């Protein structure tokens, strides 16, 4: 009996340890990505995280370095560990797993005279670090004004549905969905390109075919903040009309299943079969793909479209819905799919064929995007100036004794 217990223990212990390790890992904040931009007077570094973080800052001499230790964090293994910046203040940025609980980001500096600010942003989570030459910010009052007015460049990926060999839905007079969606997307880019706080990326800017899965891969690859897929609806009922907006989730609503089946280019029967096959995946996606943020995004864009277009063209509001759209599966950022009008309805096809109506749709999408950031972004500010904290000096001393651990 004792021998049996020993064998059982030897078998179960690794499984228990593995389970505990997985639970431990899930509790940690992941450092997902890092990128940087040149400012007029300095450098901005954006560190994407999976949640709100705690960190301490410190400084090292000979050579001059500024570092931040992000607590209870793990580093995405795919992140590049070193960036040669070579601007007037920062020579190099390095990031690494300093110890089992700490990710360290280090700035190799060219001089000791510098100032910096830190801002934490949510939706999505990130840390923003600005480094300036000392004295470039003339007064604390000006510094506060600059912080409150600070704008972070947002990457928006707009996905014009269909394209190339896939025309999408075709209206009674021959208008193709792929042409309507591309024109609206190009107009969205044209409107937003004048705003320095946004960077707009299209999954396609011409009439080419892109598989559904590659569209969100484009957004993930560029580290997009939002992903919006633009479509025009269709129905066997030529009287069907209006605007509806979708987020990714399963639904039992027959009309939503029909719309998703059409956009996914599969049968309604196959769509219904997917419920059992993808239930577990959707539970994971709901946690990982920022479902709550997607709901808010869909709401702001939808309200902007229905409010604007209803005033101008008396459009019908079909509401915000949920369905399993392949094009949204895999998005690592807030995302939604827009059905801007029914191309199968003769009246709405006529409107979609008008330049003014497509511009109205594009402007309403832009307004919705701006409302999303304006009303949901919560900014947490932590202001630092060089050598302003006794606590920081203690942390610096402690780190000096252990900094060789990760060669940072």
pLDDT in tens, 154-205: 899 999 999 999 999 999 999 999 999 999 999 999 999 888 889 999 999 9
- The rounded Cα 105 to chain-centroid distance in angstroms is 22
Same domain, 369 and 391: no
Q: Determine the pLDDT at residue 181.
A: 97
- Residue with tokens 């044209």, as numbered in its chain: 190
pLDDT in tens, 120-129: 776 677 888 8
Is there a domain that residue 1 lies in? Answer: no
Residues 6+ away with beta carbon under 8 Å from 22:
none
Q: Hey, what are 370's tokens?
A: 């701006």
Same domain, 180 and 68: no
Q: Determine the pLDDT at residue 382.
A: 38
Q: Determine the pLDDT at residue 65.
A: 93
Q: How far apart are the C-alpha atoms of 44 and 407, rounded to whole Å?
A: 24
Same domain, 51 and 77: yes
Q: Determine the pLDDT at residue 273.
A: 61
Q: Hey, what are 282's tokens?
A: 């959707």
Q: Determine the pLDDT at residue 389.
A: 39
How many other C-beta atoms are found inside a 10 Å radius of the C-beta of residue 189?
18
Spatial contact of 127 and 116, defined as CB atoms under 8 Å apart? no
Is there a domain that residue 333 lies in? Answer: yes
Same domain, 106 and 195: no
Taken in order 179, 182, 187, 190, the sign of the CA dihedral is: negative
Q: How far apart are the C-alpha atoms of 86 and 352, rounded to whole Å?
A: 49
Same domain, 235 and 358: yes
Phi (first) and psi of residue 348, to 5 degrees: -75, -30
Is there a domain that residue 112 lies in? Answer: yes
Same domain, 195 and 110: no
pTM: 0.58
Q: Determine the pLDDT at residue 86.
A: 78
Q: How far apart are the C-alpha atoms of 71 and 66, rounded to whole Å?
A: 16
Q: How far apart are the C-alpha atoms of 124 and 270, rounded to whole Å?
A: 34
Residues 6+ away with beta carbon under 8 Å from 236:
344
Is there a domain that residue 350 lies in? Answer: yes
Is there a domain that residue 281 lies in? Answer: yes
Same domain, 35 and 103: yes
Phi (first) and psi of residue 33, to 5 degrees: -165, 165
Helix axes 254-264, 268-288, angle to 10 degrees: 90
Q: How far apart are the C-alpha atoms of 229 and 330, rounded to whole Å?
A: 13
- The rounded Cα 347 to chain-centroid distance in angstroms is 36
CATH number at residue 129: 2.60.40.3500
Q: How far apart are the C-alpha atoms of 175 and 263, rounded to whole Å?
A: 17
Same domain, 183 and 76: no
The helix, strand and coil proportions of the chain, stated in percent and rounded to the nearest 5, come to 40, 30, 30
Same domain, 183 and 281: yes
How many domains does the chain fold into?
2
Same domain, 252 and 180: yes
Is there a domain that residue 5 lies in? Answer: no
Q: Hey, what are 277's tokens?
A: 């096959």
CATH number at residue 266: 3.40.630.40
- Residue with tokens 């633009």, as numbered in its chain: 230
Same domain, 169 and 96: no
Same domain, 123 and 177: no
Q: Which residues form the domain of 329? A: 154-376
Task: Extract the residue ranges of the chain whose pLDDT is less than 50.
Answer: 1-25, 138-146, 148-151, 280-281, 283-289, 378-408
Residues 6+ away with beta carbon under 8 Å from 66:
57, 58, 59, 106, 107, 109, 114, 116, 131
Is there a domain that residue 12 lies in? Answer: no
Spatial contact of 106 and 93, defined as CB atoms under 8 Å apart? yes
Q: Determine the pLDDT at residue 14.
A: 47
Is there a domain that residue 17 lies in? Answer: no
């Amino acid at each position: 009996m004792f021998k049996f217990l020993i064998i059982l223990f030897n078998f179960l212990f690794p499984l228990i340890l593995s389970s505990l390790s997985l639970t431990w890992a899930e509790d940690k904040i992941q450092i997902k990505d890092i990128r940087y931009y040149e400012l007029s007077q300095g450098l901005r570094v954006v560190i994407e995280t999976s949640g709100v973080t705690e960190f301490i800052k410190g400084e090292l001499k000979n050579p001059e370095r500024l570092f931040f230790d992000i607590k209870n964090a793990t580093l995405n293994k795919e992140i590049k560990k070193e960036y040669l910046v070579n601007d007037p203040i920062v020579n190099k940025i390095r990031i690494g797993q300093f110890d089992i609980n700490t990710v360290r980001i280090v700035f190799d500096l060219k001089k000791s005279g510098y100032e910096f600010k830190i801002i934490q942003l949510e939706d999505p989570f990130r840390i923003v670090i600005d480094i300036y030459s000392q004295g470039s910010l003339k007064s604390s009052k000006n510094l506060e004004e600059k912080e409150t007015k600070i704008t972070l460049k947002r990457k928006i990926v707009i996905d014009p549905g269909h394209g190339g060999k896939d025309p999408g839905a075709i209206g009674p007079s021959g208008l193709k969905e792929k042409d309507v969606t591309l024109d609206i997307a190009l107009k969205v880019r044209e409107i937003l390109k004048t705003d320095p706080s946004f960077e707009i990326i299209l999954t396609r800017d011409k009439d080419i075919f892109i598989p559904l899965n590659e569209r969100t891969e484009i957004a993930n690859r560029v580290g997009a903040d939002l992903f919006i897929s633009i479509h025009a609806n269709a129905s066997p009922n030529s009287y069907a009309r209006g605007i509806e907006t979708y987020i990714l989730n399963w639904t039992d609503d027959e009309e939503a299943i029909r719309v998703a089946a059409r956009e996914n280019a599969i049968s309604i029967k196959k769509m219904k079969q997917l419920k059992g096959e993808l239930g577990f995946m959707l539970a994971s996606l709901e946690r990982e793909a920022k479902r709550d943020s997607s709901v808010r995004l869909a709401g702001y864009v939808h309200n902007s479209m229905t409010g604007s277009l209803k005033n101008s063209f008396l459009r019908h509001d079909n509401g915000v819905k949920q369905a399993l759209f392949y094009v949204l599966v895999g998005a690592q950022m807030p995302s939604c799919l827009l059905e801007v009008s029914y191309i199968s309805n003769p009246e709405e096809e006529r409107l979609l064929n008008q330049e003014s109506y497509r511009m109205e749709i594009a402007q309403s999408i832009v307004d919705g995007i701006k409302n999303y950031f304006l009303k949901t972004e919560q900014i947490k500010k932590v202001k630092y100036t060089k050598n302003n904290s006794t606590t920081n000096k203690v942390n610096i001393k402690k780190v000096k004794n252990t900094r060789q651990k990760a060669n940072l």
